[in-house]
Structure 1
Amino acid sequence: MKPLSAIVALMTTASAVADPLADDAGYLTFYLDNDLFGGSDRDYTNGARLSWISGSKTVNELPQVQRWLRSLSGDPDSFRVFQGVTGFEDPDAVVYNYGVSLTQLMFTPANPNPYAQPPFQRRYAGWLGLGFSLHVKDDSILNSVEFSLGTTGSNAFAEETQDFIHDVRDIQKFNGWSNQIPSELTFDLSFIQKRRLDLARFGYGIIRVDGVGEWGARLGTFRTDAHLGGMFRIGYNLPPDFSDPRLSPTAYSHQYFESGFDYDSHWSVFGLFGAKLSGVAHDATLDGPLFHDFRTGIDRRPFVVEAYAGFGIRYRAVEFSYAHTWRTEEYRTQRGLAEFGTVSVRLRF
């Protein structure tokens, strides 16, 4: 079978699993970050995340872990301060989804040859985390809360993952993984709010422009930060949703909303671009694990700026997207901007 024919056959088969607009359908999404898309192999070099999110649920259908997260979600049972900042016009009419995720992040210095840690370069580091999330939303606002339990060091299997990928692609291995940051259990809690805005419609809504603004914070032993960002999209049959185009602490795909637009075509094609400003108070890969007396030998910068651009294509219940990110220096001896690409594949069923 020709490659194009095989892809079309796969997408057609997958789309028949369920009605892509059914409220009870969930999403399975795979994200892959890699700096080889930017022509380098250093610093933040690879990230992978597998996330699953349920269809629409009632409170009684939520698992116990996600029920514990409700106090931070902005719904009627949340702390008053969270109810005040969510902006839901009718908190009693929101929709619930819950999710689980598995994420691995990998960091290396620029020089792969030394068996010792190269001075003034990024420390070898890996992180592996299991996340449990709750998502509360209406057609214009989404609040996501995720609790992540993870580990740094050799227990994250970053060395084994990188060696396997480099063997498959016949790329030189990095020799200094014995110098990676120590193993330590991590506990992190993330909150992100997103707000959608329909900006323009052309051709009876076939061509649409929308925007998503977001702010959020993460408090934990692996990373503590806060951020502010936004994204714009333009496309044909643009899906009105909150789906993340990039790997993030709460990266999930979200269902389409009833927005008064009739999808006459099973296809969607769109472009996207956005930016993000982060203030970082702690990063275990740059500062060392919180409960170990371990120095990485580099000085973290307190603010990081990102810009990204990409595209996406959807056929029924299957979606593919790519986003390219440019990130400012995260530590003082880093050599210029970091570049990496994010590939994501989504299946709704």
Structure 2
Amino acid sequence: MAAMLVGTVLAPTARATPLQDDQNTWTLQGENDAVTTLKGTSDQYYTSGLRFNWTSRTDHLPGPLAAVNRFVLGRGMQRVSAGVQQLIFTPSDTQTATPSSRDRPYAGVLLGTLNLINDTDLSRSVFGIQMGVMGPASGARQLQNGFHGAIGDTQNLGWHHQLKNQVIFQVQMGRTWRLPLGNIGGANGIFFDMLPSASARAGDYRIAGTLGDTFRIGQGLDSDFGVPTIGAGTDGTDAYKATRMVPWYIFGGVSGDAVAYDATLQGNTTLKNSPHVDKKPVVGEIHAGVAVMFYGVRISYSQVWQTQEFTTARSGLFNYGSLNASAKF
């Protein structure tokens, strides 16, 4: 079933040649439930994400990687990316030494990622592997409580009940399409487009499929394929190539995640009595934000509102902010 879904997602589409890019892209991204345009939450559920990533210039892959890219993703402009990310999850009540069995388990995830990327003028396809560890070896407790101590904030008390160490991995695949919708004011005016996307991932970390769409308004929209968030979808969309002096856009969109398995909710597969909660099979997101590029740098901010991920979660939308900075050199 997963293979059929992935094959459908990545069926060949446009064959146009996109812009050549002779510079690497370096990205640093941070997400937190306290970094928000609304009155935010403090350390609950998906509370923190950090990501550092490198994306290569175009068409400089080693021969074997280039062959795999072409075989899996088809013809197009090739890139490869590699990175590391850490995600931190906590219950809503972090001041209880023994967390409720109805609340989200404490969990930390540390993942390394290797992605193959293939661009045409109107699509970006990604195939990648993520592998790492869930549990104390992720360093989540040390980072979170160490940061709280440094700023004089209250430390979270239940980390000794976090999910145990377990090697995790997933294979991910996805495609984003760019659909121009027109413009106002001619070549130097305001442009509109849409970025429908589909992705799937499978492994003992997560098994899920995602469909989404994003509407953008701005200038130089053909400079990239949108900006990623860390926790959902496919993370191989950092590459960009400015097509005007200062490309910029504002965006808004929705996505739906069909979740068959999530280790951070359902607990360690190797332990019978691991902390766990019952996941919800469908999770929706609304996102909105702004991105701007100048002198080889891209800065973006996204605000994300998410429906409940498990059955005993607090009612209402959970929200977090995502700040992304990339530079080319």
The TM-score by the shorter chain falls in which range? Answer: 0.7 to 0.9
Cα 1:51/1:243, change in 2 over 3 Å: farther
Note the 1:190-209 alignment, pairs <5 A: 190-206=172-188, 207-209=190-192
Give the equivalent residue in structure 2 for 1:145.
127
Rounded Cα–Cα distance in structure 1 between residues aligned with 2:302 and 2:78 = 28
Match of 1:220 in 2: 203
Q: Residues 102 and 131 of structure 1 are in contact (CA less than 8 Å); yes or no, is this contact kept in structure 2?
A: yes
Please state how far the C-alpha of 1:221 moved relative to its aligned partner: 0.8
1:279 and 2:258 matched: yes
- Equivalent residue number for residue 78 of structure 2: 96
SS of alignment partner, residue 322 of structure 1: strand
Partner of 1:346: 326
Deviations 1:57-86 (A, max 9, x none): 15xx3375x4585377322xxxxxxxxxxx
Which residues in structure 2 correspond to 1:288-299 (within 5 Å)? 288-299=267-278
- Within-5 A mapping of 1:97-176: 97-176=79-158
Q: Paired residue for 1:87?
A: none
Counterpart-to-counterpart distance in 2, 1:69 and 1:250: 19
Separation of aligned partners in 1, 2:287 and 2:128:
24
Distance 1:72 1:250 in 2: 21
Kept in 1, the 8 Å contact 2:81–2:115? The answer is: yes
- Cα RMSD after superposing both structures: 2.0
CA, structure 1 residues 309+152, in 2 after alignment: closer, same or farther (shift >3 Å)?
same
CA apart distance, 1:205: 2.7
**Distance of 2:166 and 2:275 partners within structure 1:** 15
Q: What residue number does 2:3 align with? A: none
5 Å-filtered alignment, 1:182-331, equals 182-206=164-188, 207-247=190-230, 248=232, 249-256=234-241, 263=244, 266-331=245-310
Q: Which one-letter code corresponds to 1:25 in the other structure?
A: Q
Task: State the one-letter code of the partner of 1:204.
Answer: G
Question: Distance between the aligned counterparts of 2:68 and 2:98, measured in 1?
Answer: 43
Divergent runs of 4+, >6 A = none
- CA distance in 1 between partners of 2:71 and 2:259 (Å): 21
Distance in structure 2 (CA, Å) of the matches to 1:246 and 1:182 = 26
Deviations 1:289-308 (A, max 9, x none): 23332432421111000001
Q: Decide whether the 8 Å contact of 2:267 with 2:276 is kept in 1.
A: no
Whether contact under 8 Å (2:256, 2:284) holds in the other structure is yes
Structure-1 residue corresponding to 2:16: none
1:57 to 53, 56, 59: 59
Show the counterpart of 1:8: none
Which residue is equivalent to 1:332? 311
Aligned partner of 2:72 in structure 1 is 73
- 2:41 paired residue number: 40
What CA deviation, in whole Å up to 9, does each residue of 1:9-50 have, x standing for no partner?
xxxxxxxxxxxx862111111111100134112000001111
Please list the CA deviations of residues 77-100 of structure 1 after superposition, one character each: whole Å capped at 9, or x if unmatched: xxxxxxxxxxxxxx3xx1100010
SS in 2 for 1:30: strand
Aligned partner of residue 187 in structure 2, secondary structure: coil
The answer to whether the 8 A contact 2:83-2:112 is kept is: yes
1:232 is matched by which residue type in structure 2?
Answer: F
Instruction: Give 3-state SS (helix, strand or coil) of 1:99's partner.
Output: strand
State the identity %: 26
The structure-2 alpha-carbon separation of the partners of 1:252 and 1:30, relative to structure 1 and needing over 3 Å to count, comes to farther
Aligned to 1:84: none
3-state SS of paired residue (2:309):
coil
Alpha-carbon contact 1:31-1:50 (below 8 Å) kept? yes
Question: Partner of 2:23 in structure 1?
Answer: 25
Q: What is the CA distance between 1:239 and its match in structure 2? A: 4.7
User: TM-score normalised to the size of structure 1?
Assistant: 0.82
Letter in 1 for 2:41: S
Report the count of equivalent residues: 303
Call closer, same or farther: CA 1:196–1:294 in 2, change over 3 Å.
farther
**Structure 1 contact 145–250 (Cα < 8 Å) conserved:** no
Cα distance per residue 1:195-231 (max 9 Å; x no partner): 1111112222332111111101000111110010011
- For structure 1, which segment, 202-211 or 126-135, has the greater mean C-alpha deviation from structure 2 after superposition? 202-211
What do the CA deviations read for 1:96-127 (whole angstroms, capped 9, x no partner)?
A: 00010101000001112122123311100010
> Unmatched 5+ residue regions in structure 1?
1-20, 76-90
